[in-house]
């Protein structure tokens, strides 16, 4: 497992700990020159989206990984946390379906997901 993979799994775990729903980790290696992994999750309200984003950022800092950039925190419809090799997307549930990153990056391997019967790891 690469360092980027471990960072992605740690970010997904932090999002789940903050009650993010439908968390998915996508492996974009070979598909994107920008990042290696996406972590995608959602919350039910703007406050919950902000709380999830803050928890992910805090937990990443504890393991020595700092966000290079944060976007969308104030509006809390789509918060993007850019950790370089991993980009975390926390959506408001109403916004996630509109952008549908899983479909847009449909060629990416799903490393983890919370769909169906709990968490699945591949």
- For the stretch 110-121, pLDDT in tens is 997 775 434 444
pTM for the predicted model, two decimal places: 0.91
> Which percentage of the chain shows pLDDT scores above 90?
89
Q: Map out the domains of the chain with their CATH numbers.
A: 3-95+102-116 (3.30.460.10)
Tell me, what's the pLDDT at 1? 66
Summarize pLDDT for 56-65 with one digit per residue, the tens. 999 999 999 9
Average pLDDT over residues 71-91: 98
Does residue 99 have a pLDDT over 50?
Answer: yes
Report the alpha-carbon distance of residue 74 to residue 12 in Å, rounded: 22
SS3 labels along 20-47: CEEEEEEECCCCCCCCCEEEEEEECCHH
Tell me, what's the pLDDT at 117? 35
Average pLDDT over residues 47-67: 98
């Amino acid at each position: 497992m690469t360092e980027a993979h471990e960072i992605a799994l740690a970010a997904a775990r932090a999002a789940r700990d903050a009650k993010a729903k439908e968390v998915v980790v996508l492996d974009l290696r070979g598909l994107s020159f920008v990042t290696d992994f996406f972590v995608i999750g959602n919350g039910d309200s703007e406050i919950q989206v902000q709380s999830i984003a803050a928890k992910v950022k805090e937990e990443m800092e504890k393991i020595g990984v700092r966000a290079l950039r944060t976007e969308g925190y104030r509006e809390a419809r789509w918060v993007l946390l850019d950790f370089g090799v991993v980009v975390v997307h926390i959506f408001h549930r109403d916004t996630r379906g509109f952008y549908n990153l899983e479909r847009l990056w449909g060629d990416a391997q799903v490393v983890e997901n919370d769909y169906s019967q709990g968490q699945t790891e591949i």
